[in-house]
């Protein structure tokens, strides 16, 4: 069954959510991946949303934002941001799931400024809850489209910290836990070397090659010795993606 | 005592040039767009906007020249992408330069929490290691006096006025709000005064029947404004859904300065009355209305 790179990315991302986990679900693509995971392999996962919503069932319809009414209807709880952020800060969130504009080899994300903050070339929207999730979740899942200009050697501005400049950095800054576990892009799945804290290519989308992934990455990307094609989406998974995104708003290829 | 006013009166009397204004405190839902558009029509200047994520509301106020400073975690267009007016203001000083004070959602909430409860500051463990700490004039770190670990110090924020959208209010400003609350509780309590933008003004008995749903004491409320459809294009649970296309059209049209000025002409200056604005949406407005009712079971406060 044919699928778009975006659909593959969402399927690969959904598979990172484990059953029974408490997941802090960020805006945009994580909304879709969480809904797919809930329906397929993680029926007992619970989603926390920064607007204060707690949900344990998939929404009835496509979500454009977490504040859409279908995300409120039949929620477990509609509470304040303080409740969900407090649970996150206490260490009760297993996985945080966010997107990003720019990521680097240590999993640091920039969603704030391209160029110097005092005179940026591009003003990006900012953190939202991204930095809170990156600092405080037990593990961080990052999902973003793969472009060379987005996968950079070093982000110029750390909005949401990954491993900073390598081992020991998070500890030195007083971060209580966590760090990136995986980056899922339209080209592949990247994991982090526990020794160097550097992202490496763990698997790639069927149909592309590790060489192509490296060519589209802005640093000398290491490729795992056992790197192999990543999951082939099942018909069930694709049907779920299309159920929650019937017109391909999130998953059709963009120009 | 009735505090009912028209929207134009409330904005004229209670939002002054230079004020610090909290808006969009529920994040993507219950955004008081009608109040924002009235601020544009009245030519408010030098405002400081405070809010975590306001979808495109802050972007359009910036483009309209109302804003001097933004204290926010995220400014853009949530389902469509970057905020073009925000970009033009920060990157090119168009229509004039603005000051950006970066926060995270959590730190802006904690700042409002400190303001709400009269705390000198709130300690936190977020944003450690982030460059937000480096560029934010408000946030700093200090060793915790208890264990010496790095702690972020979040100082209080006390807006001059919070513009808070609700489903229903009585004429004194006792309100019922449901759905996600975001930072609404803290923003209302932290502000010197509140303008309530209600879908409906209802008799006080209705509000009194369910006091758990009331978020702020009504003495903080300076004005109660009834504006059905006042949050369009953002959603209001139980009333209407989010108008995604409207956000996306704004995103396309505001790509150029000229396109944005045309958008303002059409949707803000050309349609000062909310009824006319909603009428201009045509059949789309009817299609956004809640399609089916999903009422909660009443609770019993009997004794």
CA-based nearest residue in chain A for residue B237: A69
Buried b or exposed e, range B121-144, using 16+ CB within 10 angstroms: bbebbbbbbbbbbebbebbebeee
Cβ atoms of A41 and A19 closer than 8 Å = yes
Both structure tokens of A17: 């959510």
Which two tokens mark A99?
């997107």
| CA–CA separation, A61 and A32 (whole Å) | 10
pLDDT at A255: 53
Q: What is the pLDDT of residues A129-140, one digit of tens each?
A: 999 999 999 999
Q: What is the ipTM of this complex?
A: 0.97
The dihedral over CA atoms of A57, A63, A69, A73, expressed in degrees to the nearest 10, equals: -10
Query: Using a CB-CB distance cutoff of 8 angstroms, which residues of chain A are in contact with residue B177?
Result: none
Contact call for A81 and B183, based on CB within 8 A: yes
Closest in B130, B135, B182 to A161, CB measured: B130
Strands A22-25 and A46-48: parallel
pLDDT class of A253 with cuts at 50, 70, 90: confident
B125 Cα distance to chain centroid: 26
pLDDT of residue B157: 98
Per-residue pLDDT tens over the stretch B190-229: 999 999 999 999 999 999 999 999 999 999 999 999 999 9
Q: Does position A29 have pLDDT exceeding 60, yes or no?
A: yes
* Residue of B27, B131, B180 with shortest CB distance to A158: B131
Three-state DSSP at B225 gives strand
pLDDT in tens, B2-44: 999 999 999 999 999 999 999 999 999 999 999 999 999 999 9
Q: Is B85 on the interface with A (CB under 8 A)?
A: no
> Does residue B155 contact residue B183 with C-beta atoms inside 8 Å?
no
Q: Does B124 touch chain A (CB under 8 A)?
A: yes
3-state secondary structure B7-61: HHHHHHHHCCCCCEEECCCCCCCCCCHHHHHHHHHCCCCCEEEEEEECCHHHHHH
Q: What are phi and psi of B109, to 5 degrees?
A: -65, -45
Structure token digits, residue B254: 């505001």
Residue A89, CA distances (Å) to A66, A105, B182, B183 in order: 20, 26, 16, 16
Which of A87, A100, A111, A127 to mutate against chain B (most B CBs within 10 Å)?
A127
């Amino acid at each position: 069954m044919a699928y778009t790179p975006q659909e593959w990315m969402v399927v690969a991302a959904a598979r990172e959510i484990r059953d029974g986990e408490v997941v802090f679900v960020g805006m945009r693509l994580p909304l879709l991946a969480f809904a797919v995971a809930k329906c397929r392999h993680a029926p007992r996962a619970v989603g926390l949303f920064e607007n204060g919503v707690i949900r344990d069932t998939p929404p009835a319809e496509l979500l454009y934002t977490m504040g859409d009414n279908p995300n409120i209807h039949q929620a477990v709880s509609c509470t304040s941001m303080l409740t969900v952020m407090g649970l996150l800060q206490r260490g009760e969130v297993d996985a945080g799931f966010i997107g990003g504009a720019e990521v680097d080899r240590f999993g640091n994300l920039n969603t704030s400024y391209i160029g110097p903050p005092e005179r940026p070339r591009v003003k990006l929207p900012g953190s939202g809850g991204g930095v809170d999730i990156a600092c405080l979740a037990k593990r961080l899942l990052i999902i973003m489209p793969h472009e060379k200009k987005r996968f950079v050697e070093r982000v110029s501005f750390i909005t949401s910290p990954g491993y900073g400049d390598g081992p020991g950095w998070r500890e030195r800054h007083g971060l209580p836990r966590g760090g990136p576990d995986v980056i899922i892009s339209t080209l592949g799945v990247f994991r982090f070397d526990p020794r160097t804290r550097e992202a490496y290519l763990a698997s790639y989308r069927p149909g592309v090659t590790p060489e192509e992934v490296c060519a589209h990455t802005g640093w000398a990307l290491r490729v795992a010795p056992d790197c192999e094609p990543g999951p082939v989406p099942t018909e069930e998974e694709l049907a779920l993606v299309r159920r929650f995104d019937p017109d391909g708003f999130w998953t059709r290829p963009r120009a | 005592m009735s505090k009912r006013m028209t929207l134009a009166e409330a904005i004229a009397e209670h939002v002054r040039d230079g004020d610090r204004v909290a808006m969009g405190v529920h994040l993507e839902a219950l955004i008081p767009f009608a109040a924002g558009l009235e601020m544009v029509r009245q030519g408010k200047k030098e405002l400081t906007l405070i809010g975590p994520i306001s979808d495109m509301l802050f972007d359009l106020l910036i483009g309209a020249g109302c804003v001097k400073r933004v204290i926010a975690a995220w400014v853009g267009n949530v389902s469509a992408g970057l905020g073009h007016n925000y970009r033009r203001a920060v990157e090119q000083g168009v229509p004039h330069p603005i000051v950006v004070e970066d926060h995270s959602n959590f730190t802006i909430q904690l700042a409002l929490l400190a303001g709400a409860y009269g705390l000198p500051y709130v300690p936190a463990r977020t944003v450690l290691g982030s460059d937000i700490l480096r560029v934010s004039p408000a946030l700093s770190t200090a060793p915790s006096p208890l264990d010496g670990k790095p702690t972020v110090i979040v100082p209080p924020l006390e807006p001059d006025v919070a513009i808070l959208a609700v489903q229903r209010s009585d004429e004194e400003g006792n309100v019922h709000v449901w759905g996600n609350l975001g930072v609404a509780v803290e923003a209302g309590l932290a502000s010197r005064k509140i303008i309530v933008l209600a879908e409906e003004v209802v008799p006080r008995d209705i509000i009194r029947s369910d006091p758990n749903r009331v978020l702020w004491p009504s003495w903080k409320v300076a004005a109660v404004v009834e504006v059905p459809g006042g949050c369009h294009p953002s959603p209001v649970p139980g009333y209407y859904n989010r108008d995604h296309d409207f956000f996306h059209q704004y995103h396309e049209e505001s790509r150029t300065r000229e396109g944005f000025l045309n958008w303002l002409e059409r949707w803000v200056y050309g349609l000062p009355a909310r009824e006319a604005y909603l009428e201009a949406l045509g059949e789309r407005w009817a299609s956004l209305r809640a399609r089916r009712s999903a009422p909660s079971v009443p609770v019993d406060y009997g004794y």
